[in-house]
Amino acid sequence: MTAARRTQEERRETTIRKLLDAATEALIEDGYAAASVQNVCDRAGLSQGALFRHFATREELMVAVGHDVGQRTLARYRREFEALSAKENPLELAIRLVRDRCRSRLNQAWYELAIAARTSPSLRKKLQPVAMQYWTDIVRLAAGLLPDLHAALGDRFPVLVSTIVAVFDGESVHGFLLPDPGTEEARLEILGALAGAFAPGRNAASRTRGHRSRS
């Protein structure tokens, strides 16, 4: 690749990054309906022509934001897990980090897109493949970080992962109006205990304790 071609590609990537970041901020701060092309361009410091050179429609840009948010969320999750897994119980850490990512500022952009897709057939059709890939990547990451649990549960592992994500998605949306820190902490503890029941060796350990108590 020539220097001129490389510079051109770098400019293109820089412009796209500005547009994705600006659209993400517009979703978070103003909501999907108000995240207009002009809003995004003003935030990015770019013209509408620059936007449409890279994205044919506003909807196409928003779908790209969905993909970008998912990848950034998973990358942050992996970094945090790998930094802390030697110091904490891996399963408890994994569950807590799911809650943290669901509550994160970045994830608010994903919620805005998901809610908008409910009433927009066009957006829903285009966003569904992104959501399916995001879910596949979530399960793959979880399996890689918790290999023993994945092996123990087999086909039920994605169900456990989906349940944990669904709980904290619901908690996050519910918390927009009715935050309840006390209940939320208790929920984290209960969910950790329930998930821990599936952990390898748990049943054997329980049987051993039961045998000892009867002796």
Q: Is the pLDDT of residue 75 over 60?
A: yes
Q: What is the pLDDT of residue 201?
A: 65
What band does 199 get if pLDDT is binned at 50, 70 and 90? confident
What band does 1 get if pLDDT is binned at 50, 70 and 90? low
CB 131 within 8 A of CB 65: no
Quick: pLDDT tens for 49-64.
999 999 999 999 999 9
Quick: pLDDT tens for 22-40.
999 999 999 999 999 999 9
Question: What six digits make up the tokens of 95?
Answer: 């569950």
Burial letters 88-107, b for 16+ CB under 10 A, else e: eebbbbbbbbbbebbebebb
Quick: pLDDT tens for 6-20.
788 899 999 999 999
Q: What is the pLDDT of residue 211?
A: 39
Quick: pLDDT tens for 78-109.
999 999 999 999 999 999 999 999 999 999 99
Note the pTM of the prediction, 2 decimals.
0.88
